[in-house]
Structure 1
């Protein structure tokens, strides 16, 4: 498998141990705070989140993956806590697809590149955890601190520049 770290974090600010040296936001809860002189607004947060969603779709299309399976779904909090987050960040949850995915997603759901967005958003926002994959072709890992890993059966180097033009960085690991 080819393994890639894909994130908003520019690798030139990564030390020899891999630690990121710049202060930067890492979660939806950072909205309203200032990092490196820039206020993290809902609009800025959403634009970065869009880059991650578009990256997953781009890789799926490149690899001719018709769908990703979502399994082992784990909710990050109970429904009452989720609704508090929805209320606090209303502009980011005003799309019914995201809330529908949270409440209705079941193990072994298969989603196309056009349908995977709400799940990627829920993962990035740490509302859910899940395994996201196309068996033997592609796996998507989204963890804490706004980090995404992609494992692929075939290399994606020929689309790295296209992905980076979307506003994220690709590092082969």
Structure 2
């Protein structure tokens, strides 16, 4: 199995060039500033815990790809709360999310396996991360809409075919 390259380029800084402790402190100070300015709502219960545990799951080499379930387990919240908190971080540009894919030979297509997270360091990178997040979410929403539309059109087609089938052999004009 091989990884499929993502079309979105990596951030301009090398994650490994910045020490892990520095990335963690930049992330935590960014979260605190966002909470103070109101970019992140402070009233959401459990989000602060999610932010703290989320950054603690960064690997020693700066790699960072925990699952929503793992973050929720460590923070003591539901998976939905962890997912919402991480999405909020992405939407304001504190982190950058890169979807990772793997080719599944059984399904004959690439499937999403996990996300890779990056701490955004500069204001320019933050602006790029906000745009990338909006583009990724729009693409995913379009894929969902297309899937819903194709399922409903296939179901409608099936209803039309079944509706026009004769109920008995006597009603079939080709047999008469």
Tell me, yes or no, whether TM beats 0.5.
no
Higher relative contact order (CA 8 A, sep 6+): 1
Q: As a proportion of its length, which structure holds more helix?
A: 2
TM-score (norm 1): 0.36
TM-score (norm 2): 0.35
